[in-house]
Structure formats: structure tokens, C-alpha cells
Structure 1
């Protein structure tokens, strides 16, 4: 079984890089020309995710799109269990987005260079970097573009959520932009945190009603974080 998984993983990674190279100009050039062309970039990112996932036998089922209002920005939060969350997000979110990502990913050849155009990098060990990332995300939201944040801060190897960090909820309170919980179910089973091996299968993504911040005082951050944690946890328990 491990030998078959190894062969499959090599095949999947080979196709990952082949399709990444093919789609790279279409993903990168529009944002080089103008930030207003971000929707073109995200069209081709979705094309890349669809072609790659279809080729390796990974299927995505998306639920709850009726909760997303077209033209309205959201702060998407999700349970981060796998590297497969990366293609799951553009496959599921029907909007142009910017993602908060750990700085280490920016060092991956080609991938880091391309994703840097649609990501806000953060050094999790640096308070100054975290503060700067919030400022940049605030500007993104003010431009009408949604953002994606993993509130746990890192991939989670367990079935239960880890404690949330404040960043996404402070951002929501300061900007008034709603939190959109997004539960990604099944990605960790196909490729877990503690293994580089992958398997084909199905990933389900669920959206719920957005959670709107009430007021902009400091106490609302903790309240919004708790409410969002409970909502996402309930979604995971319901659909796993």
C-alpha cells in the first residue's frame, strides 16, 4: 500500500509542477499589468486547480454557496489540516481573494514567486510582521477583495480545532467585514500533516452564514473569535 501511495504521490507532484509551469504566465502576467486584473488571475488559478485535481483523482464537493453574496468582501476562515487546502480554497471560493500565508512558503521555487502576487506573507515569530500583515489585509478588504486566513496559524494534525489567534477577528472588527466560516472536510485524510504521501478521494467544503461583528470595541474581538470557533467546530463535527 505504501509503495502505491508513493507512486501516486510522485505522479501527483509531477503533474502539479507541469500544470504550474503551463498556467504560470496566465496567473502571473495579469497582476503584473494591473491589480484590477486579479479576477483574470483567479480564473486561471481555478483552472489550474481543476485540471490538476481531475488528473490525480481528487474530487471537490462545494456546499453552501448561497451564503456568499456576490460583490461583497468576506474574511474566510478555515480549518487547516493539509497542503490540499491550497487547491480546495480557489476551487470553493467564488471570489477574488488574497490569502495570509506563512513566509516559509515564499521560498518554494516558482510556486512562492507566483503565489506572492496573491498572498500576504507573515513571519509568525515576528510581532512586527504580524502587525504589518494586518495592515496589508485591511487595505485589501478596503479595495473590495476578500481575504482568507487560517485562524489556527498552522496545519492541525488532530480532528479538533486548535485555539484561534486574534488576527482575523481584529481585522473583522476594525473593518466591519463579516467572517465567513469554511469547513474543509477530508483533505487531512488524503494528505495529512505528518506525511508527504497522498491518496485520491473526495474533499467537501462547507460554507455557513456569515458572522457579522457587532461594534468595533476591543471586547468584540474575543466575542467574535469565540462565536466563529464554535460555528466552525460545529460545522466540522456535523459533516465529518
Structure 2
């Protein structure tokens, strides 16, 4: 009889836990139904003039920081004691595990208005898609002509004084993969434009807000490492794969360090 009650008790606990996780994910949808029209809508009058982009970027940051706060996330940032120059542009790269990565990058790069290079499918989302496609760069990875156009758009945005953020894995990899293979675009751009690369390693989001996992996740601390920026002045385009491998190794090593630590 005790064993029976023990099984029933554990079953009820698991049921309640799963229900709370589902409600938490629903909460994420609900707050974005409110936050996206509010913050994105407020940015629309400033969308179509590049000189106004710092204002647009501020609204994007408010959306991101509100999301993180209301979802119960906070981050702890470890740095290599480098203060980024507010007057410089950067190519920002990071491992990619969740939509929360975007919100974290917005929050981390407060003084460097940047545009993301993201998948074209996001433009189909109601309301958010309109603002996203008019303030970031959309890429159709199945189209070679799209890739060529995006490369030109990235260079144009840099010429306007903006920083660029790319996830070199291209997409969120399978949960079993620590770090997916990197594509070369971010490194080619950084070398061509002679812009330093800022690298972030983001831990914990893979388990705390996994992609397409309704019964997984929980609020809590996110660990982030900001590595020392890498100058690209002495790299030639032929050496982009060397630069790519260097950045890949930095992120992979840091992820291994994060997940080997007791947490």
C-alpha cells in the first residue's frame, strides 16, 4: 500500500510540474502578444530612416529585457576585462540554442546598435515579422541568390555604422550537439570590413528554454562568457577558415568548462 501511495504521489508531483511548465510557456506567448505590439509598434515611426536606428534599437532592447525579466531569467556575465569601444563597430557571434539568445545579445550590446542576420521565415509572423524584416537582415538559406544579396546588405549596414550579429551555426542545432559546425559568412565579412569580432558563449538556455520543447525548461540564471575581441586587421580572406576555427574552439572550450562546473 505504501508503494502504491508513493507511486501516486510521484505521479501527481510530475503532473503538477509538467502543468506549471506548460503554463510558463503559455505565459511566454501571452507576454509577447502584449510586448511585441507595444515595443515594436512604438518603433515603427522610426524604422525607415537609418539615422533613427539607435531609437529603434532602444525599443528592441526594451522588448528583449522585458521578456527576460518576465520569464524569470537573469544572466551572469564573465568577461576578459575588456571594455568595448562605444565608437567602434563589431561583428558579434555566439552559439545558438534558443530564441532567448537574441534577447540576451540585445541586452548585452546596449551601446552598439546592431542588426541580426536571421532566417526569412520570421518575416511571416504577424506584426513582429513586419518590424523584424525592416530592421534586420533576412536570409533564405535555400537560395544562393538570397545569400549573395544578404552579403551585400550586411556590408551596406556596416557602412551605415551598425554592428552585425550572426549565429555562425546557421540554426539551432539538435539538443544532443554541444556546438554545431560554423559557416564562414561572419568571418568573411569581418575580414573584408576589418571589423573586430566579439564572441559570446551562452550556457544554460539549451536546457532552460529549449526550442520546441513544451514540457522542458525553467526560469533561472544564465551564464555567459564575453571573450576578448579578435582583431581581423592581419587576416586575409584566404585565412577566414583559420579565424572560424579559432572562434569555434573558443566557444566549444568555454561550453565544456561551463558544463563541467558544478551548477
TM bin (shorter chain)? over 0.9
Quote the Cα distance in structure 2 between the aligned partners of 1:124 and 1:47. 29
Deviations 1:85-114, CA, capped at 9 Å, x for gaps: 121111111210010001111111111111
Quote the Cα distance in structure 1 between the aligned partners of 2:181 and 2:42. 38
- Give 3-state SS (helix, strand or coil) of 1:195's partner: coil
Q: Which residue of 1 aligns with 2:3?
A: none
Name segments (4+ residues, structure 1) moved above 3 Å.
214-218
- Give 3-state SS (helix, strand or coil) of 1:132's partner: helix
Q: Which residue of 1 aligns with 2:76?
A: 61
- Give 3-state SS (helix, strand or coil) of 1:117's partner: helix
- Give 3-state SS (helix, strand or coil) of 2:47's partner: helix
Matches within 5 A, 1:55-134: 55-64=70-79, 66-94=82-110, 95-134=112-151
Q: Which residue of 2 aligns with 1:47?
A: 62
- Give 3-state SS (helix, strand or coil) of 1:62's partner: strand
Q: Which residue of 1 aligns with 2:188?
A: 170
User: What TM-score do you get using the length of structure 2 for normalisation?
Assistant: 0.85
> Which of 205, 210, 218 is the aligned partner of 1:199?
218
User: What TM-score do you get using the length of structure 1 for normalisation?
Assistant: 0.92
| Long gaps (5+) in structure 2 | 1-16
> Which of 230, 240, 244 is the aligned partner of 1:225?
244
Deviations 1:41-66, CA, capped at 9 Å, x for gaps: 11122222222322221223333373
Quote the Cα distance in structure 2 between the aligned partners of 1:142 and 1:204. 33
Quote the Cα distance in structure 2 between the aligned partners of 1:159 and 1:67. 32
Deviations 1:144-187, CA, capped at 9 Å, x for gaps: 21000010110022352111111111111111111111111111
Quote the Cα distance in structure 2 between the aligned partners of 1:231 and 1:145. 25
Question: What is the number of residues matched between the two proteins?
Answer: 239
Displacement after TM superposition at 1:217 (Å): 3.3
Quote the Cα distance in structure 1 between the aligned partners of 2:126 and 2:155. 28
Deviations 1:94-145, CA, capped at 9 Å, x for gaps: 2100100011111111111111122100111111111111111111112221
Quote the Cα distance in structure 2 between the aligned partners of 1:214 and 1:228. 16
Q: Which residue of 1 aligns with 2:205?
A: 187
